[in-house]
Chains A and B, each alone.
Chain A
Amino acid sequence: MARMKFLCDAERCIECNGCVTACKQEHDVPWGVNRRRVVTINDGVPGERSISVACMHCSDAPCMAVCPVDCFYHTEAGVVLHDKDRCIGCGYCFYACPFGAPQFPQIGVFGMRGKMDKCTFCSGGPEKDNSREEFTKYGRNRLAEGKLPACAEMCSTKALLAGDGDIISGIYRERVTIRAARGTRSGPPWGWDSAYGAAQPAVAGGK
């Protein structure tokens, strides 16, 4: 198995926030904490694009590098998780994360930062799988039930893909190829130029 990854297809995302709602509902996430959110670029302008963003479970995770108490770890499947019992809520991970994934619940009337909370790829944390403690601290462990993250499985347009990196990149590659073959999208995928320069990707060819 490769590493578990999210992939958001900007051509399909319709900013419905279904993924955000699914995440909130699945894990009983408290008010003020958004493990996932939808970001829209050029909102209201023709050609606007939306992408669903959460923890990207980086292979070389900056949060893990800066954590002063080393409470982060990688699972076998490549998911970045953390131990809330060890977290001191300092917020360094929030500064380090390029996606703004770490969230800090407000505890008390003075808005003090609590323990860090973030997307777990629906795989719980360092507690007994599917136990009450795990659910309370980290949310539901869908991976242990043989399911994929709720956000991706609930996505109505299947813009948000989750799972083994090899499989979901294969699904996305097939889409790009079909779009190019049908002529519905002749150029490179959105964001390609920003990431790789103006060169055309090899998307020609049919099924």
Chain B
Amino acid sequence: MTRAVVLLLFGVLLCALAGCGERAQVVVFKQGVYQGKPDTPPYQNPPFNGDRAAWERTLATRAQLQNEYKRTHRNGNG
């Protein structure tokens, strides 16, 4: 019982001491350098799994679908 009380008091004391800690409350800015969270490249995750070339090929093919001159020609309509 006494041991439990001592442990409890010790815990309370630790918590109280934690409040005395002095940590910087503001971030240190480096002018002109991105300060946010890091981002992963879009080809990092499935379905490309890090294959940048495949991702670029897919986007290039998809971008060409915006060219209806090629789309109509490919479909045999002129």
Size range of the chain A interface in the assembly: 35 or more
User: In the complex the two chains form, is A129's CB within 8 Å of B44's CB?
Assistant: yes
For residue B36, give the distance in angstroms from its CB to the closest CB of chain A.
3
* Number of A-B residue pairs at CB separation under 8 A: 101
- Name the contact of B66 in the complex, choosing from A143, A144, A161 (C-beta under 8 A): A161
Q: With A and B bound together, what is the CA distance between A77 and B60 in angstroms?
A: 13
- Compute how far the CA of A145 lies from the CA of B45 in the bound complex, rounded to whole angstroms: 9
* Nearest chain B CB to A131 CB, angstrom units: 10
List the B residue with the shortest CB-CB distance to A168: B63
Neighbouring B residues of A143 by C-beta, 8 Å: 42, 59
Q: Chain B residues near A77: list those with CB within 8 A.
A: 42
Verify B35–A81 contact, CB threshold 8 A: no
- Known A146-B58, A146-B59: A69·B64 in contact at CB below 8 Å: no
Partner of A123, one of B33, B42, B66: B42
Q: Can you name the residue of chain A whose Cβ is closest to the Cβ of B55?
A: A146
Report yes or no: B35 in contact with A86, Cβ–Cβ below 8 A: yes
Judge whether A129 and B45 touch: CB under 8 Å.
yes
Knowing A143-B42, A146-B55, A174-B69 are in contact, say whether A71-B63 is a contact too (CB < 8 A).
no
Contact B63 A178 (CB under 8 A): no
Are B66's CB and A168's CB within 8 A?
Answer: yes
Is A41 positioned at the interface, with any CB of B under 8 Å from its CB?
A: no
* Contact pick for A126, options B39, B45, B56, B66, CB 8 Å: B39
Chain B, interface residues (CB within 8 Å), range: 20 to 34
Which residues of chain B are near A86, meaning CB under 8 Å? 35-37
Residues on A with C-beta less than 8 A from B35 are: 69-71, 83, 86
The residue of chain A having its C-beta at the shortest distance from the C-beta of B61 within the complex is A146
The listed residue (B32, B44, B63) touching A167 by CB distance below 8 A is B63
Nearest 5 A-B pairs (CB), nearest first?
Answer: A83-B36, A163-B63, A146-B58, A144-B42, A73-B34
Taking Cβ atoms with an 8 Å cutoff, the residues of A that contact B are 1, 69-73, 75-77, 81-83, 85-86, 123-130, 141, 143-148, 152-153, 158, 161-164, 167-168, 171, 174-175, 178
**What are 23 residue pairs bridging A and B, where the CB atoms are less than 8 Å apart in the complex?**
A1-B59, A69-B35, A70-B33, A71-B36, A75-B39, A76-B41, A82-B36, A83-B34, A85-B37, A127-B37, A130-B45, A144-B48, A148-B62, A148-B66, A152-B66, A158-B68, A161-B63, A162-B63, A164-B60, A164-B63, A168-B63, A171-B63, A174-B67
